[in-house]
Structure 1
Amino acid sequence: MPSAPLSPARLERFARHIVLPEVGGAGQVTLASSRVAVIGLGGIGSPALQYLAASGIGRLALVDNDVVDASNLQRQTIFTQRDVGHGKAVSARRWLANFDDALQVDVSDARITPQNAAGLIAGCDLVLDGTDNFATRLAVSDACVTAGVPLLSAAVGRFQGQVAAFAGHLPDEACYRCFVGDAFDAEDCDTCADDGMLGAMAGWAGTFAALQAVKVLLAGTAALGDPGWGKLHILDGLAPGMRTIRIARDPTCRGCGARPGSDDVSSG
């Protein structure tokens, strides 16, 4: 079904996008008809959500079971003092309503598990994961592979960030589990409370993730660029600089290696 044309008000709002040859009117319409799930509304999810909303993505699903704490305000840019003690998902929806009341927004304060992940990402064109533990990230990744939904994974700590797009549902492409393996299914990892984090570093990782998300959504419609499946971008805030490495698909991966139609090999 063809997407509805943009109204005059929306054309004016996104004029700076539309004049870019790499986006254009067709690209903006694609963004308007896209649904993106943002999993985790913290240091990465907050700035990412701001720029996803500003880009004109029409439908957003927000998932976070946490509440706003005063220590979050150092880096989680959609929250203010009035949000402290309130759920992050509901507070994020309030920010979106004030920013652009034309957006369609669904919220969930459920904690993602392997059992409910599929339902929370159902109907999405892309999932952006900014959560802070491996168990959740792996549950989201496995659900994305099963549902055939691309995953944009972003992480940050101290002065370093990581952003990568995964399409483990496609032949020869890696999933997030190919990257980290199975050892991290338990909920144990370092946190920014223990290690610290420069607030602006979270902003860089989050906004870069939003840029990559737009590329993924416009692939095949506009000329913005290759979504870069399996390319891990490592952001160094101290240098500063960025380097990129390629994540190869693991044919023995239990997240994507055994999917229907995969090209598993058992021996040489």
Structure 2
Amino acid sequence: MTTIEQSAARVAIVTGGSGGIGSAVAHALAADGMSVLVHYSGSAERAEKVVASIQEAGGTAVAIPGDVADETAMTALFDTAEERFGGVDVVVNTAGIMLLAPLAEMDLDAFDRMHRVNVRGTFVVSQLAARRLRPGGALVNFSTSITRLQQPTYGAYAASKGAVEAMTLILARELRGRDVTVNAVAPGPTATPLFTEGKSEQLINQIAAASPLERLGTPEDIARAVTFLAGPGGRWVNGQVLFTNGGLA
């Protein structure tokens, strides 16, 4: 029997858990029987709605605020998980921002802000996960299919996610002997506010039609990929980037 099967009450941290994909991931992990810490950095109201929805469905969840790039705040998040639930088994880094501009026109303050969240934030949380995940645990970071699609205006964003992929693949090798998997999910166009903001309906329909499945992904599509990697079926998947995009790239 594997460690993951022996544990009766697994505990998950979802950064960015109040967002479109993050909330779907939190719901899916709770539906799998995990206690979920729903992290948020902006809207407490949205996070509490996610928690209330999970609890109404019979699950266990709490909302915890914090800056993902602040090691003190994230240490407190892991401390809370251990104090309230006994430990941490799954960490999912959905927290991220996307700021778009041609490389020649990208504002450097915007560049720095995005990399602070997407790169430093992922690094801080991954470092804590590497130190504190229990045997049988899983870390799932978030990249993007844009690293393959290479579309104009996405250069700075793709660069931040390329860094996420690099640290994810290397960390998987560094955790040899720990019985902890480390992978990344790379969504394609997904129907969330982060994706649709600033886009016309015509453009959204055009992007949806480009997929062989002729639709946008849903947050639930992405959440199912995460629960696979976090669950018993994904234990032999390690050090990989799972492109979850309906065949677009």
TM-score by structure 2 length?
0.55
Using the alignment, how far apart are the partners of 1:104 and 1:92 within structure 2? 11
On the 8 A contact 1:145/1:168 being kept in 2, the answer is no
Contact 1:145 1:169 in 2 (8 A): no
Does the Cα contact within 8 Å between 1:36 and 1:128 map onto a contact in 2?
yes
Structure-2 residue corresponding to 1:231: 240
Alpha carbons of 1:136 and 1:194: their partners in 2 closer, same or farther (altered >3 Å)?
farther
The one of 15, 39, 61 aligned to 1:105? 61
Q: 1:126 aligns with which of 90, 108, 120?
A: 90
| Aligned residues: CA RMSD | 4.0
Please list the CA deviations of residues 25-63 of structure 1 after superposition, one character each: whole Å capped at 9, or x if unmatched. Answer: x94x73x41111111121221221222121122x21111
Hey, what does 1:43 align to over in structure 2?
20
Residue aligning to 2:129:
144
Higher helix residue share: 2
Contact 1:118–1:144 (Cα < 8 Å) also in 2: no
- Pick the structure with greater CA Rg: 1
2: CA distance, partners of 1:168 / 1:61? 27
State the distance in 2 between where 1:157 and 1:87 align.
30
2:53 is the alignment partner of 1:95: yes
Change (3 A) 1:157 1:88: farther
For this pair of structures, how many residues does the alignment match?
173
Structure 1 stretches lacking a partner, 5+ long: 1-21, 68-85, 177-190, 216-223, 242-268
Corresponding position of 1:200: 217
**Which structure 2 segments of 5+ residues have no match?**
80-86, 97-117, 150-160, 183-193, 209-215
* Residues 148-174 of structure 1 deviation map (CA, whole Å, 9 limit, x = unaligned): 454111344779899978646623899
Task: Evaluate the alpha carbon distance shift between residue 54 and residue 126 of structure 1 in structure 2; reply closer, same or farther with a 3 A threshold.
Answer: same
| 2:175 corresponds to 1:170 | yes
Overall identity of the aligned pairs, in %: 16
Task: Return the alpha-carbon distance in structure 1 between the equivalents of residues 181 and 33 of structure 2.
Answer: 27
CA apart distance, 1:175:
9.3
8 A contact 2:14–2:22 mirrored in 1: yes
- Give the 3-state SS of the residue equivalent to 2:228 in structure 1: helix
Aligned to 1:62: 38
Aligned to 2:235, what secondary structure does the other structure show?
coil
Distance 1:169-1:118 versus aligned 2 partners, 3 A rule: farther
The alpha-carbon distance between structure 1 residues 210 and 37, as it changes in their structure 2 partners (threshold 3 A), is same
Tell me, yes or no, if the aligned pair for 1:130 and 1:155 is still in contact at 8 Å. Answer: no
Aligned equivalents of 2:93, 2:78: Cα separation in 1: 11
